[in-house]
Chains A and B, each alone.
Chain A
Amino acid sequence: MKSMLTRGPVKIEAVITPLIDIAMLLVVFFALVSQIGITDFVKLNLPKPSPTAAVAPHNEPRIVINAIANEQGEVSAWRFLNDDYLADPAGIQSLCNAVTASIRANPAAEVHLRADSNVKYTYISPVLDQVGKAATKAIPGHLVKLRLAVQPEHRGG
């Protein structure tokens, strides 16, 4: 009894510093991941060639162009770096200028083209043409590393 009294009242302290550390880390992490998601990935029903000759993505820098299309396969706009470009000649020219600037800044970058499986080729063709020209315009003699995004069937979705 005596020893209990000499020990004095027990203090309960919550150590919140590690909690704050982890909370901040998670906030920063989620912010970055969501930003990457918004910039690069638009939810699309990609083509599913089977069996596919496609390869898994590498860690190389990338430039992602997404086709924003309706159910009839008509592209209304092209999304590139959070900007939407109309699918008309002027819009595609603006897209080409933006891609040119990106390739000039990062010549090693791959250009990833993501389009819905039902998009009509008439909308894709001018972009394929302009992306090739953008690479040459950015750096004379430069060949664009164009990659066509597909969804492997074995992974579901």
Chain B
Amino acid sequence: MAEAAILAAALDQLARGTDPMEAPVQILDDKLAEKRAARRGNRGIKLNVIPMIDVTFFLLVFFVCANKTLDREEFLRTDLSQRGGAVVSPNSLALDEPPLRIELLRIGQQTKIKIIAPMAQPDTFEQLTAIFNSKRYSTENPSGLFPADQPIELAPSQDVPWDDAVAAFNGLVRAGYQQIHFAGPQ
């Protein structure tokens, strides 16, 4: 095939009146250069990305699992205001206002909520939230009794489960109060 091309080129050169021996050499050189380039192309650098993808997916799966395992809990803040700590001082005179006391009593397998104030007594933590929300003073509720920073002392009795103490605390936070403290050891 190459010989035919050389022959055709030589005939072409003869027809033009130039030296036919120069052209075949040129063509041969070109052909060899092409072959060399093709061979070089076959030896090109390849990037094998399959292990990289494997490892990337493995890490992705691991992070997803670890994230679900470690970070699936949330936190109730007890320093909602800078005015108080987690536990109210035994000397209540040190406070700006006397705290409103809510006791949690364990009767049988039930926890009873008792607000030490002349107001409606809730049966459930949902009712506790509703009552305290309705009593919170705000521009929308000018007839409310307590400001949002009213100190509230939550006093669970000794055998109340932590679940109920947290539920009461959570209910008061949801009602919009900012100074809820657990009572000290009784």
Contact = CB atoms under 8 A, between A and B. Distances in A.
B161 A121 contact: yes
A129 interface: yes
A47 B184 contact: no
Interface SS of chain B: helix, strand, loop or mixed?
A: mixed
B167 to A, nearest CB: 5
Contacts of B174: 51, 53
Interface in B164-179: 165-167, 169-171, 173-174
* Chain B, interface residues (CB within 8 Å), range: 35 or more
Interface in B133-186: 156-163, 165-167, 169-171, 173-174, 182-186
Contacts of A131: 86
A46 B86 contact: no
B78 A125 contact: no
A119 B82 CA distance: 28
Given A120-B161, A121-B161, A151 B170 contact: no
Contact of A121 (B77, B78, B82, B159): B159
Given A51-B174, A129-B184, A120 B76 contact: no
B85 A135 contact: yes
B157 A121 contact: yes
Contacts of A35: none
B168 to A, nearest CB: 9
B182 A128 contact: yes
A55 B75 contact: yes
Interface residues of A, number: 49
Contact of A119 (B162, B170, B186): B162
B117 interface: no
B161 A41 contact: no
A37 B65 CA distance: 13
B182 to A, nearest CB: 5
Interface stretch (B1-9, B66-74, B94-102): B66-74
A151 B68 CA distance: 12
B79 interface: yes
Contacts of A119: 161-162
B55 interface: yes
- Count chain A CB atoms within 10 A of each CB in B55, B158, B162 and give the residue with the most: B162
A144 B74 contact: no
Point out which of A53, A144, A151 has the most chain B C-beta atoms below 10 A from its C-beta: A53
Given A53-B173, A121-B159, A112 B75 contact: yes
Interface of B: 51, 55, 66, 70-79, 82, 84-87, 104, 125, 156-163, 165-167, 169-171, 173-174, 182-186
23 contacts: A47-B167, A49-B166, A52-B170, A53-B174, A55-B77, A112-B75, A116-B162, A117-B163, A121-B158, A122-B158, A122-B185, A125-B156, A125-B185, A129-B87, A132-B85, A135-B85, A143-B79, A144-B85, A145-B77, A148-B75, A149-B75, A152-B72, A155-B72
Given A41-B70, A56-B74, A150-B166, 15 more contacts: A33-B66, A117-B163, A119-B161, A121-B162, A122-B185, A125-B158, A128-B87, A129-B184, A135-B85, A143-B84, A143-B85, A146-B85, A150-B73, A151-B73, A157-B72
